[in-house]
Structure formats: C-alpha cells, structure tokens
Amino acid sequence: MAKKLTGMDIFKLLPKTNCGECGVPTCMAFAMKLAQKSAELSACPYAGEEAKNAIGAASEPPIRLVKFGSQKRTVEMGNELVMFRHEKTFVHQTALAVQLNTDLAHESIIKIAEFVDRHAIERAGEKLFIESILINDRGNSPAEFKASTIKAAEHFSGAIILKSDSAENLIAAADALLDRVPLLHALTRANADVLGEYVRARKLPVVIAGKGLDETFRLSEALSSGGHRDIVLDLTVTGGAAMLQNNTIARKAALAASVKPMGYPIMNFVTGRTNPADMIADASTCMCKYASLLVIDRYEPEALLPLLMLRQSIYMDPQKPIQVEPKIYPVGEPSPASPLLVTTNFSLTYFIVSGEIEGSGVPAHLAVVDAEGLSVLTAWAAGKFSAEKISSFIKSQEPATKMTNRKLVIPGYVACLSGELEEKLQDWEILVGPQEASDIGPFMKRLVNQ
C-alpha cells in the first residue's frame, strides 16, 4: 500500500514556480489537491522524476478517471473518493447507456438512436438525458457490425460503447469511429492479448469482463501493469442484490484498502428484464451503489423518468445548491407595463416564486439575482442579496429601456432593503411584497388593481 503523503510532503517535491499550468494558481494549492486525491500529478508538466516516484501512486485518486466519447460529448467516470455521499460528495453521476442490438433492421437502429439522442427532461433547472448508446453485436461479420455501428453513430451525438464477443469485430467498428473515442466491451481472458494490444496502441478505454471478481482482478492487474489504465470493470451478475454485493466489494477494496486493480469505474448491465418495474428496481440499486456506467435495454419514457430523477437526486452535490441562471425571466406574457419582481437564483426559490406568479394570472417580469444559489433570507444574512447587488443587477439588465412600469417588488423578508434601494434606484418605486410565496397570488391581484 502506498505511503500517505501530506500536502506539505508533496509541496516539497514540486517545482515551486507557481506557473499555474496545472489549473490551480500555486504549487501549494496543487499539492493540497494531490493530498486530497482530487488531482493527478500528470497535470504538472514540470514534475521531476523524484516527484513522480515519491508522489505518483500515493496521490492518484483511488478510482481512476476514465473518459470516453467525443470532445463535445465526453462521459467522465471515476475519481470517486468516498463510499457515502455525506462523507464528502460523489464526483461523477452514473452514466446511462441504452443497448441497441445489431440484429435489428437499420431503420429500427436509426429510430432508437434518434429517440435516445433527443430524449431529455428539464428538472430544477437541469437538463437530464441519456449519455450513451451501446451497440451490441449479435453475431455479425466484422463488416456488418461496422456498418450497424456507423449507422447508429450517424444518428446519435453522444458517446458510443461497442460490445462484441469478437475482438475482430470490435476492432473493425472501433477503427471506423476513432474520433468518437468509443468504449470497447470487453477484454476477457480469451482475447486479452489481441484486444489489450489494440487498446494500448489506440489509447482507447476498454471494459474488462472476467468470470467473477478474481478473474476480473487478474485481468485488470495484467492490463494496467502493461501500461494501459483506461479501464472499466464490468461487474454484472444476475440480479440487483448480487450486483450490489459485487459493486460494494470492489469499491471498498479500492477506497479502503487501495487495491489498485479494483480502482476503476464499475459498469453494470440491467438488461433482459421483461417487466419494466424489475429493470427500474435493479437499475436503481446499481445507481445507488457504485455503478459508474449502467446499461439498460428499455427506453420507454416512463421507465427512463424515474432513473433520471433518482440519478439527479443521488448525485446532486449537497454542498452546492442548484441554481438557475441570473437574468430577467418573463412569467406569463408580460408587456413593458407589467411589474418587476426580484428574487435570488436558488432554484427552488425561483420555481416556487415563478409558479405563484403564473398561478395569479398576472403577467410579470422576474429578476433573478446571483446569490450563489442561496434562498432569500440566507443570502441576505450572508451579504449576497444586498441593495448594492440588486440595484447593480437591475441597472446591468437595463429594464428601464424596456419597462414603462417602474414598480420593483422585493421579497417581504428583505423589507429592510427598501430605503437603500430607493436611494440607489431613484427612478423606481420600491414595493415590499409578501414574505411567503403562497401570498404572492393575492398580492399580484391587488397590485394590478391599484
């Protein structure tokens, strides 16, 4: 097991030029990131051999960062540091892939690829979608598998996974898609030599699928000691409970015991379930416990919805409130004569306030000020929703040029800001709105009837 180095131990080995090329401004800041295992030494181009030998393994994240997909649509997995989200945070959410079998007609392949490409839902200001498709070879020739792959890739802009029992088929299809950086499934004991050599030469990520954890461990150890470390571990077994067990063993081995061959993202297949409820249940289990990549073969919107929502809830960083973009939003169909209300960019606040305004039937403009995602009272207490901040934002948006109604409504909880705002926004009449969102409806009706 590698010796645990402190930030100061690591700093002593760095060049100390503070050039910033590693993405943080100083060598000390980079040393602290290395000590927390949230950066890799390779990000510093000036680290010498002594530093590489001493820091290398000790500073690497226990779960390696592995990427696949094009530059525009990259899927990132790994870099995880904790078993439980409340210990710190999970770094990357489970990527979802829909399996597409090549025994389908090309028209069907295209139809599914296009559906998955388009499918997205908006929730709490975030767009939730499927990142990947897995093209599953059903005994085709290399040329046929390559043709199906190209067809699907033309109609899907996300990341591609290629799955075949034949290394020859995988190589034929991957060579046609190198610019999309596909993930290859799978390296096994039978094809380890030929596929290992190919992925090393092409620098492509590969999934290892051994028969059981022991064989997966040995294959992973052999491939990484040969210099290739863009590895994903397929720990699929039958049933959600068994996958939960496998995933937990592997993740615990990597995090708690620094077992390097297990220190890679985990992939699970939840396919072949005839009942969508079974698919949702098993997929949810894997998503909760350590699947970095999850393959499903059902794509009905009602099956995808709970998975997308669950994923958002699990992988949301509890230390970072969800935010909406600071700007002036129209609610209903406001005209220049409609009133202007102001609130913070905490997502929940925005959705509640805009929903109440909409429910009142009175069109309005809603100015959402950047308060680092805090709610009104918390932001005010932290000095992030001040008269200075609100007035600067209103002036920067120049509503005066468009709005003939000069009424600005502030939340009741920050009534104390009204005097200062009157001084800073002299051509506006500052009105104090209700404290509770549920009182916005009656307030809006009184406002337009004044």
DSSP conformation letters of 307-342: HHHHHHHHHS-TTS--B---SEEEESS--TTS-EEE
Residue 393 found at the interface with ligand SF4 (CB under 6 A): no
Of the residues 19, 178, 256, 277, which one makes contact with ligand SF4 according to CB under 6 A: 19
Smallest separation (angstroms) from ligand SF4 to the CB of 52: 12
Smallest separation (angstroms) from ligand SF4 to the CB of 117: 38
SS3 for 48? coil
Of the residues 12, 18, 258, 384, which one makes contact with ligand SF4 according to CB under 6 A: 18
* Cα–Cα distance measured from residue 434 to residue 415, given in angstroms and rounded to the nearest whole number: 9
Question: Do 312 and 124 contact (CB within 8 A), yes or no?
Answer: yes
By beta-carbon proximity to ligand SF4, the closer residue of 32 and 113 is 32
Of the residues 5, 10, 14, 35, which one makes contact with ligand SF4 according to CB under 6 A: 14
Query: Percentages helix, strand, coil for the chain, rounded to the nearest 5?
Result: 45, 20, 35
CA–CA–CA angle 436, 439, 443 (5° rounding): 125
Q: Is 49 exposed, middle or buried (0-12, 13-18, 19+ CB in 10 A)?
A: exposed
Of the residues 21, 197, 429, 439, which one makes contact with ligand SF4 according to CB under 6 A: 21
* Matching residue, tokens 């099956």: 303
By beta-carbon proximity to ligand SF4, the closer residue of 35 and 287 is 35
* Cα–Cα distance measured from residue 229 to residue 211, given in angstroms and rounded to the nearest whole number: 20
Sheet with 340-344: list strands edge to edge.
328-331, 364-369, 340-344, 407-410, 429-432
By beta-carbon proximity to ligand SF4, the closer residue of 46 and 381 is 46
Pick the closest to residue 57 from 242, 219, 229 (CA basis): 229
By beta-carbon proximity to ligand SF4, the closer residue of 17 and 108 is 17
Q: Under rule CB under 6 A, which residues in 37-96 are in contact with ligand SF4?
A: 44, 46
* End-to-end C-alpha distance for the chain, whole angstroms: 74
Tokens of 165: 């029992």
Residue 17 found at the interface with ligand SF4 (CB under 6 A): yes
Number of residues that bind ligand SF4 (CB under 6 A): 13
Residue 371 found at the interface with ligand SF4 (CB under 6 A): no
* Cα–Cα distance measured from residue 316 to residue 354, given in angstroms and rounded to the nearest whole number: 23
By beta-carbon proximity to ligand SF4, the closer residue of 22 and 153 is 22
* Cα–Cα distance measured from residue 167 to residue 150, given in angstroms and rounded to the nearest whole number: 17
Of the residues 10, 27, 204, 366, which one makes contact with ligand SF4 according to CB under 6 A: 27
Tokens of 202: 């092409």
Of the residues 2, 4, 6, 15, which one makes contact with ligand SF4 according to CB under 6 A: 15
Stretch that binds ligand SF4, among 24-32, 100-108, 152-160, 285-293 (CB under 6 A): 24-32
Smallest separation (angstroms) from ligand SF4 to the CB of 47: 6
By beta-carbon proximity to ligand SF4, the closer residue of 13 and 369 is 13
Site pattern 29..48 for ligand SF4 (x: CB under 6 A) = -x-------------x-x--
Report the interface residues with ligand SF4, using CB under 6 A: 14-15, 17-22, 26-27, 30, 44, 46
